[in-house]
Structure 1
């Protein structure tokens, strides 16, 4: 299978809008002169200056595909088995999926990339000027804010995707400014943002619809470009899809964008989706194995899924009878914690996902969705929380008011105590948890060209 992607989302959507179609600069110029001019234009539209030159190289699509396949083949079987036993078991993809083949597929979405590790831009063949502007802006971000360090410091998949959205949205915003200036002699204060924002959103949705793999494997491109673009438009100009004219004086203060990489780094995907309008995140417990189970269960990994990955988990159920709109349901997210454990006696891997939602009604929708996600049914009339999934594994799904916990493949005798740790009575004083391995979103992004 190959994914049905061709170009970065912004390139696609901009090419369909007559106001700013095409590219400036002239591809007939010698390469060095063109690159130098575009680097200068990137400085101007992003209002930052390069501290050092960013090298540019050109590679073929075949070379990129071969590198992707080689990198996937080099992934240890143990790592893939752990991924399947944790996030696969949680419900993102069938645990028996061929992950070597999945991760080795070409990511045709990308026409170019900037590598924070190599400090260089790679182009796949000839690209338009706006693509290079986008990548040069990533170089500026890295030189001024240490992109690699910021991304490595994110502790959860939710936080990683939120920062990715700021990274991509900022570069897209500068890209739009470049095209406006080159094609229309205009600037960001002269645009009705509704068309561009809606097109960016649609591009992300098309990635999900046309992708032949489980949505988890396009979490970053489906989220960061479209939603990150609107977030940065709103951050800089005050405009949004709902209010498409800027409400701030021109010229706009680009230090507001700088702050997204320093003292106002977005922390959750809900913060991106709500344009900083989210409620405070709720603690839900399951930050560690309960002490009374520590002699039996080893913690393997932990994460926070956030609103976007919660939606991708439930997305296959969208429109199912009695469930309704999974996107709207995921938008009621208030906090979550995934904990993956290994049973010392049986060597079985189990999953535990605790979550909090806006109200009991939303939590009841999540509870019903999880039973359908696992194809589960209660096996004891006297204990409706205990059931068996379609694959034969035990599940425990419990709701109390606006909180829900779902356990899978955990020993039946351990389930009540593990579930209790997800509710207020079981939450212990918070301890700082550092990562020994990247979060899922960070690990998946490393499968893409040039991303740390």
Structure 2
């Protein structure tokens, strides 16, 4: 018999300090409901709670007020730096009003689990499936530690990959709950083809309908749909391309445990390809070259990965002579974004180096970057040097399967900085130490809380 989960909710929330409600000797109807769903979460995820998880409810108006207050409290210097770095890369205009964006970036939230308080916050009345999903996050935290500090050493790419496991695992357990409660069945009877098609279609609707810069939709657009497919494939063998289980039930949920411990995914490409990704290659700058150190200092760095690269290029999808940006981003082999400050002028600039499957894909990226920046070469003598439509200097250069793009760097320094970002051959990735959380991790903390 063909079965499906029905609707799998896209839930993202940001945490607030829960209000502690009073308790009495006799459990209320709500408390009995929470107790039942706590037990059901244990059953469908096959883990046991080590301590109770408190649940608090706030209204939608309270949630929106918290969002607005948190956005209003954001430091102006932090917002300016974000626009001067990731905005300059091309995710949004350098004069964008990020305060307003932050205030609206989680309007679709329904509930969340907060590792800081080890509790769940609901926005108004929610379905039992939502509560089971959040209780599974509580189980994950108690067994595998979802504390924010675990994210601080991760790039934005690695952060999204790990959160795809967090959300995919909870959504898989939620789906198991739905199958058992509504159809008296289990995951081996799920019709995975229509289900995964529906989940991916809703992701596209989310991106297509977003009025915010797509960078702020990175988490919900990636972690839920691709996370569910990745975890379903890990547990059952099913995928969108091959929607059939390849092992007999009952499924071994210790395979899911391993995704939090011994087999933690390292990149969004690993999630997207169901562990069939190309080896990631080292590319770009770890540090400012010694010859430029007196003039330029490193402000920060990041790895975008396949999904954030796609979101960067998605607005160009279908543009003349560019083609399918999703297919182009799938050729990603590695990248390093370096954000620099000119010691003399105090200007901020970007240096993004990337590696691709082959020279053809790299040529597509080179062409896409010229269109992304609305740039054109200044003269025929130096085709790599141009001016973006915002007036800033750009340098876009390709060498076989590598591309380097500089923006808002002093013209006299561009050739040397680009040259330094083109190492010969493939080098191992250096374990550069982050001095602060990546952008993806910071965005997940910025509004009233951090973790769905």
TM-score scaled by structure 1?
A: 0.92
- Name which structure has the greater RCO, CA cutoff 8 Å, separation 6+: 2
Q: CA deviation at 1:426?
A: 9.6
**Gapped runs of 5+ residues in structure 2?**
1-5, 12-27
Deviation at 1:12, TM superposition (A): 7.0
Aligned ranges 1:105-116 → 2 under 5 Å: 105=104, 107-116=106-115
Alignment of 1:94-109 (within 5 A): 94-105=93-104, 107-109=106-108
CA contact (8 A) 1:285 1:426 kept: no
Partner of 1:11: 9
The offset of 1:11, in angstroms, is 2.6
Q: SS of 1:147's equivalent?
A: coil
CA distance in 2, matches of 1:399, 1:431: 22
Q: Secondary structure at the match of 1:34?
A: helix
Runs of 4+ displaced beyond 3 Å: 425-432, 447-450
- Is residue 151–residue 160 contact of structure 1 (8 Å, CA) maintained in 2? no
Say if 1:120 and 1:291 are closer, same or farther in 2 by CA, change over 3 A: same
Correspondence 1:247-396 to 2 at 5 A: 247-396=246-395
The separation in 2 between residues aligned to 1:264 and 1:153, in whole angstroms, is: 19
Change (3 A) 1:335 1:374: same
Contact 2:284–2:352 under 8 Å retained in 1? no
- Residues 206 and 429 of structure 1: is their aligned pair in 2 closer, same or farther, counting only changes over 3 Å? closer
Deviations 1:357-402 (A, max 9, x none): 0000000000000000011111121211111111111100000000
Rounded to whole Å, the distance in 2 between the matches of 1:308 and 1:423 is 23
Aligned pair in 2 of structure 1 residues 106, 439: CA closer, same or farther (>3 Å)?
closer
Whether contact under 8 Å (1:9, 1:203) holds in the other structure is no
What is the RMSD computed on CA atoms of the aligned residues?
1.8
- Report the secondary structure of 1:424's partner residue: coil
Which 5+ residue runs of structure 1 have no aligned equivalent? 1-7, 14-28
State how far apart, in whole Å, the 2-side matches of 1:423 and 1:9 are: 47
Give the match's secondary structure for 1:299.
strand
Q: Which residue of 1 aligns with 2:58?
A: 59
Q: Secondary structure at the match of 2:394?
A: strand
| 1:207-264 per-position Cα deviation (integer Å, ceiling 9, x unaligned) | 1111101101111001110110100000100000111110012111101100111111
Match of 1:3 in 2: none
Residue 425 of structure 1 and its aligned partner are, at CA, apart by 3.4
Offset, 1:285: 2.5
Q: Which of 142-151 and 36-45 deviates more?
A: 142-151
User: How far apart are residue 432 of structure 1 and its match?
Assistant: 3.4
Q: In structure 2, what is the Cα distance between the partners aligned to 1:361 and 1:106?
A: 36
Distance in 2, Cα, partners of 1:422 & 1:256: 39
Distance change (3 Å), C-alpha of 1:9 and 1:436 = farther
The TM-score normalised by the length of structure 2 is 0.92
Q: How does 1:207-222 map to 2 (within 5 A)?
A: 207-222=206-221
The 5-angstrom pairing of residues 39-58 of structure 1 reads 39-58=38-57
